[in-house]
């Protein structure tokens, strides 16, 4: 039985799409505090102002992240949401769960919290919505002791690292994303659980340029699988695709008749660098021009595979919109071997070099991508001890000025110009 009249929210149940209002009403039958979410939200719709207070000192002992304080500013009117803290659980690599484990998590949350969850937050965590302060420690005890699961990151911490399915399921994965994600998660436990930085910091691991965890759009360090030799071509399979004997796109999009497969129209003409052509009945690729868009591999997975010399491209500095709009990560290292054999040493060294600089030079609440934007890519590359390479260049320069470093100029900035002019008239 509804506790509050919610005519505005009820409108959101009328469309053909799933409705969070319906979900909350259903959950409220079990957890009555959820009625107050609806009541408070209805009021916010009417008054056009939020009634949530955001943030606080809440947490569990020894941790400085994983829990986000939420309070109602109308606790007497909506006592069910007086405290309504969010708890983030670190998701397992690739989000593999047993259904038993998911049920156990849900049971635990119905015992200590509202029972409402969000699968998953944009960082990848399982988000548990709504519990009171006094329930946090007992929930955390049961979570860690009975379910062997940990909290994720929040605040100015390293956020829960995320990865795609990687080599566990995907033939395109150019490195073991699960191993990399797990190793770095364990290596950086302190940074995940206690604040360390001027602002949040994320890394994500995608096995190939399809980038199924959207690392390039959402992480400060995106580790995206790639290869540096040539795409492997099975010419016999190419012929089978052309003959229509193998369905394109692995049989996806097969709900309607798209007509006969046309390699010219569906693959060659869509190559962004126009580096593919047919010659003598064979598919040819100018691999030096390939930008790893993955379209041809996606369309003809039985004919085309990533090369054999595999590793990852490292891009730095993505963020979702904050101050200046969304920003994709910038390619910094075109190819790096990413391997458990050396415990991801090269990647760890790269990440820590960024941290040492950003912790010093980043402003409060400034993502590393914003710091890079502020100081400029040339400065960032210098900080990282890298030589500029063509892949760093966004577009040809549009002004004629050349900027020199002091050490590149004979006599530096201190030389006697008059003495110079005595020999070289202006």
**Cβ-based nearer residue to other proteins, 135 or 278:** 135
**Cβ-based nearer residue to other proteins, 72 or 206:** 72
Using the 8-state DSSP alphabet, how is residue 201 labeled? B
Instruction: Find all residues with CB under 8 Å of 172, minimum gap 6, and list them.
Output: 207, 208, 210, 225, 294, 297, 305, 306
Assign residue 423 a region (left: φ > 0; alpha: ψ between -120 and 50; beta: otherwise): alpha
Interactions with other proteins, residue window 299-338 (CB under 8 A) = none
Interactions with other proteins, residue window 130-169 (CB under 8 A) = 133, 154-157
**Cβ-based nearer residue to other proteins, 257 or 360:** 360
- Report the distance separating Cα 377 and Cα 374, nearest Å: 9
- Report the distance separating Cα 305 and Cα 314, nearest Å: 21
Cβ 359 to other proteins, closest distance in Å? 4
- Report the distance separating Cα 148 and Cα 237, nearest Å: 46
- How many Cβ atoms sit within 10 Å of the Cβ of residue 184? 23
Is 77 a binder of other proteins (CB under 8 A)?
no
177 preceded by a cis bond (ω within 30 of 0): no
Interactions with other proteins, residue window 350-409 (CB under 8 A) = 355-356, 359-360, 363-365
What are the tokens at 263?
């390699």
CA dihedral 302, 306, 310, 314 (to 10 degrees): -130
**Cβ-based nearer residue to other proteins, 56 or 307:** 56
- Report the distance separating Cα 347 and Cα 353, nearest Å: 10
**Which window, 190-198, 220-228, 307-315, 384-392, contacts other proteins (CB under 8 A)?**
190-198
State the binding string over 197-226 for other proteins (x if CB under 8 A, else -).
xxxx--------------------------
Cβ 195 to other proteins, closest distance in Å? 4
CB 303 within 8 A of CB 238: yes
**Cβ-based nearer residue to other proteins, 326 or 340:** 326
Measure Cα distances from 387 to 191, 220, 317, 401 in Å: 29, 21, 18, 20
Is 118 a binder of other proteins (CB under 8 A)?
no
Is 57 a binder of other proteins (CB under 8 A)?
yes
- Residues in contact with other proteins, counted by CB under 8 A, come to a total of 37
Using the rule CB under 8 A, which residue among 5, 32, 46, 55 binds other proteins? 55
Cβ 185 to other proteins, closest distance in Å? 19
Binding residues for other proteins, rule: CB under 8 A, are 53-57, 59, 62, 64-65, 67-69, 71-72, 75, 82-83, 86, 133, 154-157, 194-200, 355-356, 359-360, 363-365
């Amino acid at each position: 039985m509804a506790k509050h009249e919610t005519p505005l929210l009820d409108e959101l149940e009328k469309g053909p799409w799933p409705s969070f209002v319906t979900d909350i009403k259903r959950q409220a039958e079990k957890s009555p505090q959820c009625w107050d979410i609806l009541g408070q939200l209805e009021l916010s719709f009417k008054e056009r102002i939020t009634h949530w207070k955001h943030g606080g000192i809440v947490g569990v002992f020894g941790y400085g992240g994983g829990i986000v304080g939420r309070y109602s500013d109308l606790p007497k009117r909506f006592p069910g949401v007086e405290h309504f803290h969010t708890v983030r659980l670190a998701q397992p690599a690739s989000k593999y769960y047993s259904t038993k484990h998911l049920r156990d998590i849900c049971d635990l949350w119905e015992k200590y919290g509202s029972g409402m969850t969000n699968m998953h937050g944009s960082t990848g965590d399982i988000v548990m919505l709504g519990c009171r302060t006094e329930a946090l420690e007992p929930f955390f005890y049961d979570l860690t002791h009975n379910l062997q699961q940990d909290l994720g990151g929040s605040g100015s911490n390293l956020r829960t690292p995320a990865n795609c399915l990687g080599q566990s399921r995907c033939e395109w994965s150019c490195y073991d994303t699960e191993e990399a994600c797990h190793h770095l998660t364990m290596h950086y436990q302190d940074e995940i659980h206690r604040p360390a930085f001027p602002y949040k910091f994320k890394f994500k691991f995608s096995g190939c340029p399809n980038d199924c965890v959207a690392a390039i759009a959402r992480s400060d360090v995106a580790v995206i699988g790639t290869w540096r030799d040539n795409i492997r071509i099975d010419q016999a399979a190419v012929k089978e695709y052309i003959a229509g004997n193998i369905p394109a796109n692995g049989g996806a999009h097969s709900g309607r008749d798209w007509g006969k497969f046309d390699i010219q129209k569906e693959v060659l003409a869509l190559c962004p660098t126009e580096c593919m052509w047919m010659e003598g009945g064979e598919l040819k690729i100018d691999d030096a021009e390939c930008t790893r868009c993955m379209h041809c591999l996606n369309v003809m997975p039985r004919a085309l595979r990533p090369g054999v010399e595999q590793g990852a491209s490292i891009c730095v500095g993505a963020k979702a919109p904050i101050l200046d709009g969304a920003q994709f990560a910038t390619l910094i290292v075109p190819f790096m071997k990413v391997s458990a054999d050396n415990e991801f040493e090269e990647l760890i060294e790269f990440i820590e070099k960024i941290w040492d600089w950003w912790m010093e030079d980043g402003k409060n609440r400034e993502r590393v991508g914003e710091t890079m934007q502020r100081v400029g890519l040339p400065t960032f590359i210098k900080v990282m001890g890298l030589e500029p390479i063509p892949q760093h260049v966004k577009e040809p320069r549009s002004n004629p000025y050349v900027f020199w470093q002091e050490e590149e100029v004979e006599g530096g900035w201190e030389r006697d110009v008059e003495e110079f002019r005595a020999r070289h008239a202006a």
